[in-house]
Chains A and B, each alone.
Chain A
Amino acid sequence: MPLKRVVITGMGAISPFGRGVDILMNALLRGESGVRILPELADIRGIRTRVAALVPGVDPGEIPRKYRRSMSAMSVFAALAAGDAIAQGGLSGEQVRGGRFGVSIGSTIGSPRTTQAFFDDFRTDNSVERMKSGVFFQIMNHSCAANVAHMFGITGRTVAPAAACSTGSLAVGYGAEMISMGKQDFMLCGGADEFHPLTAATFDIMNAASTRFNESPGKTPRPFDRDRDGVVCAEGSGILLLESLDSALRRNAGILAEIVGFASTSDPESIANPNAANIAHCMRQALLDAGIGPEGIDYVNAHATGTELGDIAESEAIRSIFGDRVPTSSLKGNLGHAMAASGSIELEASVEMMRRETLLPTHNLDHVDPLCASVTHVRKVTPRRVDTVMKNNFALGGVNSSLIIRRFRQ
């Protein structure tokens, strides 16, 4: 069975900079930080980090109540981003509802805010008498995917991959494979997450959350920097519209990029700590999938979250494959780590870097850690044409993912 080529024809982003891919890119090009002090973290006993990158000023009111009632913040982010991706793709409602259109959108967990609200109420008198009908639809694992499918009348497949920080990339990769195999013509793909102190605490208790920049939030996280001290949690959603090249050409759609390679591998060495050899294995598998060698990659968009171990492991893995030839940067210095959304938001920025022929630097990379110095870091906004980009994500739980996108050519 010949595999179909898969292209990206629409993108929507809800990020700590607001709504829209252009707003995201303008902030990244200006070197802005979405990280802020979150005063309420000071009220939580035992948590040391005080900063996060939250989505500002997104109005869920444009989503009709009938759909909004089953959405928590993460589904609102996903639905708005999905709508923007569909709009950019120029698809009509009939095309979206046509039966060959699916959804592959994941989150780390179901809504932590709704889960907390339910149990706060439940524990007051051990009663479910006040439980509203929308609770389950917000805390179920496929909440974002199902809500997006419901809102847009999508009748194809609904899948909700979940692999923490790799979720967004996995969702895109699996969606691309479904189109490639001819199972679907279109897929809305990506990740979404909403901030909750539980997420920050998860990293904090493992000494992997940033705690030394609580008074200067714009200075953290610091991927690859010698003074990095951990993750800053964020929220948002990145949703991409994928479709078969045949479909895109048939309807004369604007093609933003082609997805040419994808790999996901498990890392059984540790459920928490990344391993350079296993990361490299994932990247090599993606190259094999794309049918290209290391020389075919022009830029690596790193996962690099600003943790001590993760950044070193990824640097070693990149060096082991590419040497010091390929410019590399991480966008988490600007964006923080939006967990399930990080991969797809960063993929969108990577698509735009390719289109704009401009590489974005790693924000807060003032002094490269000698242990991360074996790769070529992008240190400032750099005009440069790149045609093929590798996007990495590595997750707690030991799930690695690498995507390869390419400038479209016939």
Chain B
Amino acid sequence: MRRVGRDQRSRVTVKLNGRNVSAEAEPRMLLSDFIRQALGATGTHVGCEHGVCGCCTVLLDGVAVRSCLTLAMQADGREIATVESLAGAGGALNALQQAFRKNHALQCGFCTPGILMSFTDFLRRNPKPSEAEVIEVLSGHICRCTGYAGIIAAVLEAAGSMQSTVGEKP
């Protein structure tokens, strides 16, 4: 059993984007605030703080979750991937990010980090999604700029291009 009093701070160690990092947190600290304020990874955005908007979505042990509905304490000893994990060396965008750029899937970009992380998880599980499946997953996010059509096009295009990089050439 681990017990941390409300006025105490306790060390939380996570593997953030492949690197072991740790910082102190109090029990009520949300994982979203821990990632941004304690670990300094500000790519993850905070919107509604009650699980509705999806901006703060990160991968916890590879699974897309709302970091605002998770306590920092709960992430202790686990792996977190944020939007900062996606681009390659020198900031080269990955296939999903490139498709977002090409299809005008973002304008202000506030919601984008969460959407990218949701589909990073989803496309691993379901590499050939239908448009309906993409829309279902996207229903867990709110975007006030794009009208969603560009995002759906980007995800479908990325799924196609990720497919073509595996298997045999025609």
Q: Do A and B come from one complex?
A: no
B positions within 8 Å CB-CB of A: none
